[in-house]
Amino acid sequence: MTNPTAAMLVIGDEILSGRTRDANMHYLAGQLTERGIDLKEVRVVSDDREAIIAAVKALSETYDHVFTSGGIGPTHDDITADCIAAAFDDHIDVRDDARALLQAHYDRSGQDLNEARLRMARIPDSATLIENPVSTAPGFTLRNVHVMAGVPSVFQAMVASILPTLTGGAPLLSRTLPLMRGEGDLAGPLGKFAQEHPTLSVGSYPFQKDGIYGSNIVVRGTDAEELDAAMATLERLYSE
């Protein structure tokens, strides 16, 4: 059985201009790996209607799940929900269930549910809501696309709401062998080792420590026993 596949779509000019460093990609990658869902591709696009629609369509057709972050707040540059609806020819307007959540939230805090805040209740007709325990305004799932906020604390809460509802596969396990040798010294035997272990993913990641070049050899797979045996082979290989 192969694991479900996923892509992520990060939406926001602030990432592409270098103003903000994205934190959600790294978080989602770790969560999906634990859940046994294989993150295959990430795209970052600007707050541009045509760019968002094209990316959502392409990723939704290619992967089992698409996770988006950003662009669902109350300001004029928050256009994600409308773009998702357009991508799937769905109707979108303020929806009663989302409006009720926001009304209760702003009643409690004594704030006005004004026209701008009401934008956050714009949800496509066919979508189901994703709970937001941090700041109430919900995300939503439409077909295989899960639409979430860009603020990291809210994004993480929404991921926690949606992930348990998705069927995962075997979690990808990983083992690391750090070696104080440059990649050029260990690459020959490592390529042979990788060929002899076709069910495992074998990578090498160079680092520098106190001016010395080293390499982390990372082996990934879903079977713990197979991984442990492979690591023992690898250690023998490089202790010679």
DSSP annotation of 101: H
CB of 164 to its own copies, least distance (A): 18
Which residue, 23 or 90, is less far from its own copies as judged by CB? 23
CB of 136 to its own copies, least distance (A): 11
CA atoms within 13 A on the CB side of 35: 22
- What sign for the dihedral angle of Cα 193, 194, 198, 200? positive
CA–CA gap between residue 117 and residue 105 (Å, rounded): 11
CB 93 within 8 A of CB 172: no
Q: Does 166 bind its own copies (CB under 8 A)?
A: no
CB 208 within 8 A of CB 196: no
Residue selected from 1, 2, 75, 225 as contacting its own copies according to rule CB under 8 A: 75
Which residue, 57 or 126, is less far from its own copies as judged by CB? 57
Sketch the per residue contact string, 36 through 55, with its own copies: x for CB under 8 A, - otherwise. ---xxxxxxxxx---x----
Of residues 188 through 227, those in contact with its own copies by CB under 8 A are 188, 190-191, 194-195, 201-206, 208, 218, 220
User: Alpha carbon of 211 to those of 55, 182, 185, 189, 207: distances in Å?
Assistant: 42, 12, 17, 24, 10
CB of 127 to its own copies, least distance (A): 21
- Residue 174 is which amino acid? S
**Residue ranges binding its own copies (CB under 8 A):** 10, 13-22, 25-33, 39-47, 51, 73-77, 111, 114-117, 119-120, 151, 153, 172, 174, 182-188, 190-191, 194-195, 201-206, 208, 218, 220
